[in-house]
Structures are given as C-alpha cells and as structure tokens.
Amino acid sequence: MATIEVRDLARAYGPVRAVDGVTFTVDDGEIFALLGPNGAGKTTTVEILEGYRTRDAGTVQVLGFDPANGGAAYRARIGVVLQSAGFEEEFTVRELVRLQTRLYPRHHDPDELIDLVGLSAKRTTRVKNLSGGQRRRLDLALGLAGAPELLFLDEPTTGFDPAARHRAWDLVAGLRDLGTTILLTTHYLEEAQRLADRVGVLRAGRLVTIGTPEELRVHSELPTVISFGLPQDVGVREIPPLNVPVGVQDGRVYVRTRDPVPDAARLTGWADARGLALPDLAVTPPTLEDAYLALTEEADDGR
C-alpha cells in the first residue's frame, strides 16, 4: 500500500509555478528521497504533504488523510524534523523530550528516545549548552516523540561531522526497518544513495525522474572514470590506444569511458607486459550525485 499518494500537484506564487503537475507515491515502510536544487519545489511539496501549505490543484492522500483538512488526527500520526528549529534554551534535553512526548496520544518513552538518538550523556544538559550536531539529534528526538508512522526529514544531518552523519544514517535505516515510512529531503547525495529505496528529482517545479538510486545511476549513461598516476619516465603517447581519448591532469591519467572492461584490460595488460605499476589505479562508475547533476544542470527548459 501507499502511505503517500500525490497526483497532478500544483502550487503557484504569482506567475511562478513552484510545483507544476507533480505525481508520485511513497510505499509503506519506504525511504523516499525528494531531491532538487534550491527553488525546485521541494519545500513547497513537502509542506503541502505536512498540511502546512495549501495547494492550487491536484490530489494528495497521506495515511488516508487529505493533509489540508486532516487536523489533529493526522498530525498525531506524523513526525516532522525541520531543517532548523527553535528550542526553549533553558530546558534540559530530558525535560524538552518529555514535554514533547506528552503532546501525543501514542508516544515513545522519553529516556528510550534520548538513548535512541545518541544523547544519553546529555540527558540533563540544558539546550543552550548543546553543540550544533547535538541540537540536530534533539530535533530528531522531538520528531520521533509521537512514534510517527510517517516521518518527514528535512536535511537531517546538516552540521554533523562524518562519524555522526554515519550514525544518523544507521538510525534512519533502523527506523525504516521498524516499519516507519520516511520522506527525506537532502543536499547530501551520498546520504540519498545510502538511505533511499527510491529517489525523485525535481527541477523547476516538475518531477523529471523517479527510480532507485541504482536505476538513476545506470540510466544516466554517464562514463566510468579510469584513473591512475602516470608512471615515472613514461610518456602519455606510450599508453595503448583506447576507445576514448586519454587526458592527463597534474600527473594523473583520466580515461572517461563507456567501455570500462576492455579499456581497463588494455591498460593493465600493457602495464603488466612492461612491468609497470599504475599508482592509485581506480575504476570509478558514475554515482547518484553524477546522475543528479546531469539531470538538474541541463539547459533551461524555457519556463
């Protein structure tokens, strides 16, 4: 079943069509990442789904509700983690989480929730004394206070160091494994590739593609990059002929090819026959980020 069903969604601000005929679904227990550059329509779309903004046209069903008139019964079943939120600075972490859980008919135990987001050591710390990353974890705890069936995550790891980001990814994946449906917006394409079951890419208010991260990556038909350090006393002209031209930058060879297997075989066979090492040899297929940039940096569509 679908937790979210959106069909022909539209919203304009004066002459600007911020959301222009968007259609997609999010299945129960799925992590769906909605991606796009600033101004693509992500925030407007998500705010309509959350029930905080009205639409001009289209139909929206979330957990069986129309968010525009779902009221308290709808809000009790969703969690929202905004990109930035304000806190009462004098509360301790436990006081604030306990207060938030009491607002919901169904809720997590405050202390278990604090442990879940990795703030156990900060349980009695006042909010004003938390670091940026710790505040972001508190955001997540508050979003989960009502044990939501659907969680909206807006840039959930902004301000996290790499280790904290990976811990947050594990937490989000664990929520999905427990059956929580998650709609994620992020500018970290590695985050979307790591977490999302499916990805939708918005550009200028329109949904230009939708699919799994692997489908988007493969369908981009972007080249694989073979790279290595040019061996000492070897000239570029000595490299064997390949299916594509060879480029050199700062002493490193780059081969952008759509036939990586035969080209890599020619290179390694040539090096082996001459007894050469190919320093830091790497074969790098296109990533979700590469596919995303290709989709969102195409020529202006005239609107």
> What's the DSSP call for residue 240?
P
Q: Does residue 252 sit in the same domain as residue 208? A: no
* pLDDT confidence tier of residue 85, bands split at 50, 70 and 90: low
Domain contains 137: no
Residue 300 is predicted with a pLDDT of: 44
Q: How many residues can be counted in the chain?
A: 303
Q: Does residue 235 sit in the same domain as residue 275? A: yes
Last residue of a domain, one of 192, 218, 244: 218
Crossing angle (nearest 10°) for helices 162-177 and 132-143: 10
Contact 220, 286 (CB under 8 A): yes
Last residue of a domain, one of 171, 195, 218: 218
Residue 302 is predicted with a pLDDT of: 42
Contact 152, 46 (CB under 8 A): yes
Instruction: Show the domain range for 230.
Output: 224-285
Domain contains 113: no
Cα separation, 145 vs 37, whole angstroms = 30
Q: Does residue 29 sit in the same domain as residue 63? A: yes
* pLDDT confidence tier of residue 88, bands split at 50, 70 and 90: confident
Last residue of a domain, one of 172, 193, 218: 218
pTM: 0.86
Contact 255, 225 (CB under 8 A): yes
Domain contains 111: no
Q: Does residue 48 sit in the same domain as residue 175? A: yes
pLDDT at 177 over 70: yes
Q: Does residue 45 sit in the same domain as residue 156? A: yes
pLDDT at 222 over 50: yes
**Above pLDDT 90, what percent of the chain?**
77
Q: Does residue 9 sit in the same domain as residue 45? A: yes
Contact 123, 50 (CB under 8 A): no
pLDDT in tens, 268-289: 999 999 999 999 999 999 999 9
Q: Does residue 153 sit in the same domain as residue 200? A: yes
pLDDT in tens, 183-205: 999 999 999 999 999 999 999 99
Cα separation, 191 vs 169, whole angstroms = 8
Domain contains 97: no
Domain contains 90: no
- Six-digit token string for 69: 């008139």
> Residues 6 or more apart from 103 whose CB is under 8 A from it?
145, 146
pLDDT at 299 over 70: no
Cα dihedral: 218, 220, 222, 225 (round 10): -40
Give the CATH number, domain containing residue 54.
3.40.50.300
Q: What are phi and psi of 126, to 5 degrees?
A: -75, 145
Give the type of residue at 30. E
Contact 178, 132 (CB under 8 A): no
Structural Rg of the chain based on CA atoms: 24
Q: Does residue 64 sit in the same domain as residue 156? A: yes
Contact 100, 125 (CB under 8 A): no
How many separate domains does the chain show?
2
Q: Does residue 181 sit in the same domain as residue 230? A: no
pLDDT in tens, 107-164: 989 999 999 888 999 999 999 999 888 888 898 899 999 999 999 999 888 777 888 8
pLDDT in tens, 50-80: 999 999 999 999 999 999 999 999 999 999 9
Mean pLDDT of 232-247: 91
Q: Does residue 193 sit in the same domain as residue 280? A: no
Q: Does residue 68 sit in the same domain as residue 185? A: yes
pLDDT at 234 over 60: yes
- Six-digit token string for 186: 């992020």
